Amino acid sequence: MNAAKRLEIFRRFHEDNPEPKTELAYSSPFELLIAVILSAQSTDVGVNKATAKLFPVANTPEAIHALGVEGLSEYIKTIGLFNSKAKNVIETCRLLIERHGSEIPQTREALEALPGVGRKTANVVLNTAFRQLTMAVDTHIFRVSNRTGLAPGKNVVEVEKKLMKFVPKEFLLDSHHWLILHGRYVCLARKPRCGSCRIEDLCEYKHKTSDD
């Protein structure tokens, strides 16, 4: 895919949604971090239902740590893998208190040192909470990048590096959100909705569908 196509793709994304946001509900960098840890292999809708009950009761490292694994599990038991996530979150809260003065670190290395935080989660927090130029590649972004020809790669790190290189600089900060939303609602895994796709004429996918 050439640079002119990429520019037009993101120009249209921006035109349709000038200020894209994550669909996870949060009101602080800490709440975002917890929500993203909980969202692994789960839906944002499911996470939001759980955190809507959790955060009014506990939304600081100290308050969640005080719940303990069993106490936290009661709030998040509707989420997949809740047992392991509860353990990770409690340990993460302990480390935030002990090592970071209960503040969320603003480097990928420090974030990835927290239990339950991988490269993707760290990139989401850095981009969404701290507005750093990072690219969190999830299954949606990996699919869209390969299917459209925007930034094909064999693994998420390869796709991440290509997107960081190829996305026009003026659109890079918000591109993560546009690509996720496009993958979530238009460029679906089983059958893309090419008939209602804003960038169908720019996409290089060879097996386009004719219906919505």
Q: Is 120 a catalytic site residue?
A: yes
* Residue tagged active-site, from 53, 77, 120, 191: 120
Q: How far is CA 135 from the centre of its chain?
A: 9
Q: How far apart (Å, rounded) are the C-alpha atoms in residues 12 and 199?
A: 8
Residue 91 backbone dihedrals phi, psi, to 5 degrees? -70, -40
203 is annotated as contributing to ligand binding: yes
Closest CA to 89 of 57, 116, 58, 60: 116
* Residue tagged active-site, from 5, 53, 77, 138: 138
Read off the tokens for 61. 């490292």
Q: How far apart (Å, rounded) are the C-alpha atoms in residues 181 and 175?
A: 10
194 is annotated as contributing to ligand binding: yes
Place of tokens 């299954």: 139
187 is annotated as contributing to ligand binding: yes
Residue numbers in the known binding site for [4Fe-4S] cluster are 187, 194, 197, 203
Instruction: Indicate which residues carry an active-site annotation.
Output: 120, 138
Residue numbers in the known binding site are 187, 194, 197, 203
